[in-house]
């Protein structure tokens, strides 16, 4: 696992699929945090022409490509979320590439602030933070949680998947209850967006206060 730069403070943001991590990470970006989205990085390292895409296609076949040469993520998702072994193989290809790229991004942020007394706060928005072992790169962990019924309803409305498909995706992740146990802070996103933002603001303000005395 890549060691993070010493002059960067890293918050690992995770939760279950559909619990509202994107809402929280977008708001943290508004508040001034550097946000690294692992899903976006995963898209980057498996983009057309990339080493990652070639590895995925070698493992799962060219039928996982769209006509434009990009990865058919919907088709691949339907496969791996129905087959734990296939999901494990996909993760073994993608996770190391994502971790390496995030390590480089953290180094870039560190270098930009090397002459500053201000400690940059970086949020790693990673759905599989614990599963990929990326919690070891973090100074603290925040988990966004919600009721499972709310989680399912949000996913049905957002992605249009049937409930059976959604449950496969939820069950493919570490149970949300276990993530909550491992968290330093929990954001309850069962209520209104305003309430979620208030919790996020208070937690981030606390981090900023602590960073004033953070040893570089």
pLDDT tens profile 162-181: 888 888 888 888 999 999 99
pLDDT tens digits, 100-152: 999 999 999 998 877 777 888 999 999 999 999 999 999 999 999 998 888 88
In sequence order, what DSSP letters do the residues of 67-90 get, joined into one string? Answer: TTSSB-HHHHHHHHTT-HHHHHHH
Predicted TM-score (pTM) above 0.85 = yes
What integer pLDDT is reported at residue 181 of this predicted model?
Answer: 97
Separation CA 62–CA 71 (nearest Å): 9
Inform me whether the pLDDT recorded for 1 exceeds 80.
Answer: no
- How far CA 196 is from CA of 6, 107, 138, 167, in Å, comes to 30, 31, 22, 24
Gyration radius from the chain CA atoms: 18
Inform me whether the pLDDT recorded for 84 exceeds 80.
Answer: yes
Are the C-beta atoms of 128 and 173 separated by less than 8 Å? yes
């Amino acid at each position: 696992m890549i060691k993070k730069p010493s002059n960067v403070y890293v918050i690992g943001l995770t939760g279950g699929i559909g619990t509202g991590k994107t809402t929280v990470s977008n708001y943290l970006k508004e508040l001034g945090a550097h946000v690294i989205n692992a899903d976006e990085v995963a898209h980057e390292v498996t983009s057309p022409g990339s080493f990652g895409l070639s590895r995925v296609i070698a493992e799962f076949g060219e039928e996982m490509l769209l006509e434009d040469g990009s990865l058919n993520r919907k088709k691949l998702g339907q496969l791996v979320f129905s087959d734990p072994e296939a999901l494990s193989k996909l993760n073994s290809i993608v996770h190391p590439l994502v971790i390496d790229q995030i390590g480089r991004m953290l180094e870039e942020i560190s270098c930009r602030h090397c002459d500053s007394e201000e400690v940059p706060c970086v949020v790693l928005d990673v759905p599989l933070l614990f599963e990929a072992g990326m919690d070891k790169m973090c100074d603290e962990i925040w988990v966004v949680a919600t009721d499972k019924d709310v989680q399912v309803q949000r996913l049905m409305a957002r992605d249009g998947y049937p409930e059976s498909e959604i449950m496969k995706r939820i069950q493919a992740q570490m149970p949300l209850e276990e993530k909550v146990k491992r968290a330093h802070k929990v954001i309850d996103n069962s209520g209104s967006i305003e309430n979620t933002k208030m919790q996020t603001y208070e937690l981030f303000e606390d981090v900023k206060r602590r960073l004033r005395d953070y040893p570089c």
